[in-house]
């Protein structure tokens, strides 16, 4: 949660001039416009508020109507902090829709001392500004704590400045929340459709979840950004969606496929690609690429096009390893599960042939991590 050295002293600052305020605003506008992650956006907006009114700290709280709580992010990798929607100064500002300036928190009955008592922090002055969505409904609030100027009290000018920031922030956060809801809806749709494709071939229901986790982990190890790795995790479950159009006589055949049957089976890559190729959504465009390219091979002998090496999208190369690893370690209608030793031997043998050698080296270097994922989402066990 919040951490503060109670023995530290404030370093007093001078009020910002108009040109300095504009410089702060322009600096943060670029960051806000470019950020798509809601948690990171909350922290950027909090930093904006802190710098605009010269507070020791500032947090941006959002309302969760399902739990009747306000929540905020205070640091990367830390769980959200939650308080009742009417708790403390922030709760009062949210529930009444009014901005408030508090000169001495400990002389105000609305003050919730819980965080101060648990961290040793000393709250003095407070400024709370609610913000609204496009319909005028309060969806959260800014809370600035401890003014860093000589008088250590927030002013009416601070109220005006943070109110302007709140007006912009409310609409920005509403857009971010709606975007996240859309992505979550797409994710659920993709995972469900992916599971439908797998269930038709009698593969385990957790196959798509495991492939998503393997892909995300390998993407991070390979140096992809957080947003790229997350996008891959969301899109990879659709790699075999084209199987919905493959006849059961082929999908469920217990023995080897004939040449004609295999040619028909290979069309699932193109079918999956055609499902999503016209979408304007980045997530669905990536799903199209993965469906199309996850059977391409590093040496150019794969299908449906025969791409080779870096001609294959990095998402396709990663998903190929994730898909094959899970297929080999799972029992299927046509085979028993392989042992880890057999799988490792196969991956090494196919390094530079089927698979990107760099990615295979990373995968095998961290094989224990992938085995842990395999067991975490296991609906069946790895071969002995």
Do residues 142 and 132 touch, judged by C-beta distance below 8 A?
no
How far is Cα 207 from Cα 49, in angstroms, rounded to an integer?
A: 45
Q: CA 302 to CA 206: how far, in whole Å?
A: 26
Q: Which two tokens stand for residue 223?
A: 């140096």
Residue 187 has pLDDT above 80, yes or no: no
Strand partners, 145: 57, 126
Query: Is the predicted pLDDT of residue 79 greater than 50, yes or no?
Result: yes
List the domain boundaries for the chain.
18-178, 201-376
- Say whether 201-376 and 18-178 share the same fold: no
Q: Is the pLDDT of residue 41 over 50?
A: yes
Burial class (CB in 10 A: 0-12, 13-18, 19+), 277: middle
* Predicted confidence (pLDDT) at residue 10 exceeds the cutoff of 80: no
The confidence band for 333, taking pLDDT boundaries of 50, 70 and 90, is: low
CATH of domain 201-376: 1.10.3210.10
Confidence of residue 66 (pLDDT cuts 50, 70, 90): confident
Show the tokens assigned to 155: 């002013």
What's the pLDDT score for residue 384? 43
> In the structure, what pLDDT confidence band is assigned to residue 250 with cuts at 50, 70 and 90?
confident
Active-site entry in 243, 308, 353, 376 = 243
Element (H, E) at 174: helix 156-200
Backbone angles phi, psi at 330, to 5 degrees: -115, 150
Q: Give pTM, 2 decimals.
A: 0.55
CATH number for the domain whose boundaries are 18-178: 3.30.450.40
For residue 243, indicate whether it is catalytic: yes
Q: What does the block give as tokens for 79?
A: 């769980």
pLDDT of residue 3: 45
pLDDT at residue number 97: 93
């Amino acid at each position: 949660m919040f951490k503060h050295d109670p023995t530290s002293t404030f370093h007093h600052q001078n009020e910002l001039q108009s040109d300095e305020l504009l410089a702060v605003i322009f600096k943060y506008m670029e960051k806000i416009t470019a950020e798509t992650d809601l948690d990171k956006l909350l922290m950027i907006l909090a930093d904006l508020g802190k710098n605009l009114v010269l507070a020791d700290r500032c947090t941006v709280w959002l309302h969760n109507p399902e739990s009747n709580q306000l929540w905020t992010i205070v640091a990367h990798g830390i769980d959200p902090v939650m308080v009742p929607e009417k708790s403390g100064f922030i709760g009062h500002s949210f529930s009444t829709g009014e901005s408030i300036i508090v000169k001495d928190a400990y002389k105000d009955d609305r003050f919730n001392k819980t965080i101060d008592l648990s961290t040793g922090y000393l709250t003095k002055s407070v400024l709370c500004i609610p913000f609204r969505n496009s319909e005028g409904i309060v969806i959260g609030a800014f809370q600035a704590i401890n003014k860093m100027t000589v008088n250590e009290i927030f002013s009416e000018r601070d109220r005006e400045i943070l109110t302007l920031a709140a007006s912009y922030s409310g609409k920005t956060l509403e857009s971010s929340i709606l975007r996240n809801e859309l992505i979550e809806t797409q994710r659920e749709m993709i995972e469900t459709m992916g599971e439908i494709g797998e269930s038709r071939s009698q593969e385990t229901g957790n196959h798509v979840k495991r492939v998503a986790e393997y892909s995300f982990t390998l993407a991070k190890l390979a140096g992809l950004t957080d947003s790229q790795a997350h996008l891959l995790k969301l899109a990879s479950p659709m790699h075999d969606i084209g199987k919905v159009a493959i006849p059961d006589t082929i999908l469920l055949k217990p023995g080897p496929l004939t040449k004609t049957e295999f040619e028909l089976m290979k069309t699932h890559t193109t079918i999956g690609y055609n499902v999503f190729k016209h979408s304007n959504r980045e997530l669905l465009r990536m799903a199209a690429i993965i469906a199309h390219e996850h059977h391409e091979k590093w040496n150019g002998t794969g299908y449906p096009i025969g791409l080779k090496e870096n001609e294959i999208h990095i998402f396709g190369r990663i998903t190929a390893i994730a898909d094959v690893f899970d297929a080999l370690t799972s029992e299927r209608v046509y085979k028993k599960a392989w042992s880890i030793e057999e799988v490792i031997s196969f991956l090494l043998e196919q390094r530079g042939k089927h698979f990107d050698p760099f990615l295979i080296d990373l995968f095998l270097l961290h094989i224990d991590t992938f085995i842990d994922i395999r067991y975490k989402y296991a609906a069946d066990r790895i071969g002995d």
